[in-house]
Amino acid sequence: MDWILLAELSTNGVFVGLMYALVSLGIVLIYKTSGTANLAQGAIAMTGGYVTWALATLVGVPIWLAIPAALVIMFGFGLLMERIALRRMIGQPVIMTIMLTLGVEIMLRGILPGVFGAAVKRLDIGMPQQPLFVGELLLNRATMIGGSISLLLILLSLFFFNSRFGVVMRAVADDQTASWSVGIRVERAIAVAWGLAAVSATAAGVLWGSTQGVDWSLSLLLIKALAIAILGGLDSIPGVLIAGVIVGVAESLATGVLDPLVGGGSRDVVAAVIILVTLLLKPHGLFGRHHIERV
C-alpha cells in the first residue's frame, strides 16, 4: 500500500469531512432543541447555494455582499419554515415530522432547479482551484479552505452556546417543560434553532457550490450529514466535528482503496454503512446522551 496516497486521501478527507459537518450542524441544532429530525437539511443547503448564485448572477450583487445577504434570507427561510410547518406538528407522531421535512426536501428539490434551470451553476467565491503541494502530498486547496471555514463556523457555534441566548437554547434542549416554566420562550428558541440550521446549511451550500457547482446534487449532502449526526450522537456539537472528520476520512479512503476493488461508487455507500453500524453497535453515537428508548 502506498503511504503517500493514504496520507493524501486522509488529509483531503479531513477537510471534506469538516465541510460535511457544517451541513450536519443544523441537524444537530434542531434535534437538540426540538427533538425533530430535519431531513430537509440537504435541500436547504442546496437552496442556500441557489440563493447565493441568484443574488450574485441574476441580481448582480458582488459576491462579498451576496453571501451575507443569502445567509440573512435563509435565516428568515428557516424561521418561516418552522412557523408555517413544523410548529403545527408539535405533539404529532414522529412519523409526521419526518414526512413533513421529507416533503419540504422533495419540494425544494423540484422548485429550485425548476425555476432556475437544472444545469450546473458556477458559483465563484474566489477560492483558488489549483492544488497545493506539501512535500509529496497533493492537496485540494479549495476543500482545505472550505474545511477550515467550516471548522471556524462550528467552533463559533460552540461559543454561541455560551452566550445569553445560547444558554436559553441549552435550557430548551435540556428540558422544554422546565424551561417553559421559568419563563423561557421555547417556541422562539426552536425557531432560532431552525434559522441557525438554515444559516449553517447555506454556508455549507456556498462552500460546496463553489467547489462542485450549484445544482440539485447538493441535496445529496443529506445522507452524509445524517451519518455524521448519528455517529456524533445527534445532540452533541463536538461530536459533529469528530464524526465529520471520521466520515470524511472513511469516505476518502473508501474512494481510494475500495473503489478499484468493487468498481467504483463506494463513496456513496460509506455514509449508509456508518449509519447502520453506529445504530446497531452504539445507537447514541460517540458523544450522544444515553436517552434512546430501548424497546
Partner 1 sequence: MFYRRAGIRHTRYQDERQLFPLGFDRGLIIAVLAILLAAPFLFDRLYVSGYLLPWLIWTSAALGLNLLMGWSGQIHLGYGAVMGIGAYGSVHLVRLGVPLEIAMIAGGLLSATIGTMFGGAALRMKGIYLAMATLAMQYVVDFVISHSTVISGGSLATLQVPPVSFLGIPLQGEVPTYYLALGVCFVITLFMLNVRRTSFGRALAALREKDYAAQILGISTFRYKLLAFWVSSFIGGVVGSVLAVTYLRAISPDQFHIELSIQILAMIIVGGLGSVLGPFFGTALILFAPILLNNLLGFTAGKFGWSLPIDLRAHLPLMAYGALVIGFLLYEPLGLAKIYANFRNYLLVWPFRHAQR
Site for partner 1 in 8-27 (CB under 8 A): none
Q: In this chain, which of 223, 237, 241, 254 binds partner 1, going by CB under 8 A?
A: 223
Q: In this chain, which of 29, 74, 104, 246 binds partner 1, going by CB under 8 A?
A: 104
Is 291 a binder of partner 1 (CB under 8 A)? no
Q: In this chain, which of 29, 44, 108, 192 binds partner 1, going by CB under 8 A?
A: 108
Is 121 a binder of partner 1 (CB under 8 A)? no
- As measured in angstroms, the least distance from the Cβ of 127 to partner 1 is 27
User: In this complex, which beta carbon is closest to partner 1, that of residue 139 or of residue 269?
Assistant: 269
- As measured in angstroms, the least distance from the Cβ of 163 to partner 1 is 28
User: In this complex, which beta carbon is closest to partner 1, that of residue 92 or of residue 129?
Assistant: 92
Site for partner 1 in 226-265 (CB under 8 A): 226-227, 230, 262-265
- As measured in angstroms, the least distance from the Cβ of 229 to partner 1 is 9
Site for partner 1 in 264-283 (CB under 8 A): 264-266, 268-269, 271-273, 275-276, 279-280, 283
C-beta atoms surrounding 227 within 10 Å: 27
- As measured in angstroms, the least distance from the Cβ of 295 to partner 1 is 5
Site for partner 1 in 57-86 (CB under 8 A): 85
- As measured in angstroms, the least distance from the Cβ of 164 to partner 1 is 30
Q: In this chain, which of 66, 70, 89, 186 binds partner 1, going by CB under 8 A?
A: 89
Is 110 a binder of partner 1 (CB under 8 A)? yes
Report the candidate in 76, 77, 55, 73 with the shortest Cα–Cα distance to residue 64: 55
Contact 180, 186 (CB under 8 A): yes
Is 292 a binder of partner 1 (CB under 8 A)? yes
SS (H, E, C) the chain: CCHHHHHHHHHHHHHHHHHHHHHHHHHHHHHHHHCCCCCCHHHHHHHHHHHHHHHHHHHCCCHHHHHHHHHHHHHHHHHHHHHHCHHHHCCCCHHHHHHHHHHHHHHHHHHHHHHHCCCCECCCCCCCCCCEEECCEEECHHHHHHHHHHHHHHHHHHHHCCCHHHHHHHHHHHCHHHHHHCCCCHHHHHHHHHHHHHHHHHHHHHHHHHHHCECHHHHHHHHHHHHHHHHHCCCCHHHHHHHHHHHHHHHHHHHHHHHHHHCCCHHHHHHHHHHHHHHHHCCCCCCCCCCCCCC
User: What is the spatial distance between Cα 96 and Cα 99, in angstroms, rounded to a whole number?
Assistant: 5
User: In this complex, which beta carbon is closest to partner 1, that of residue 131 or of residue 260?
Assistant: 260
Site size for partner 1, by CB under 8 A?
Answer: 52
- In the complex, the residues that contact partner 1 under the rule CB under 8 A are 37, 39, 85, 88-89, 92-96, 98-100, 102-111, 113-115, 117-119, 223, 226-227, 230, 262-266, 268-269, 271-273, 275-276, 279-280, 283, 292-295
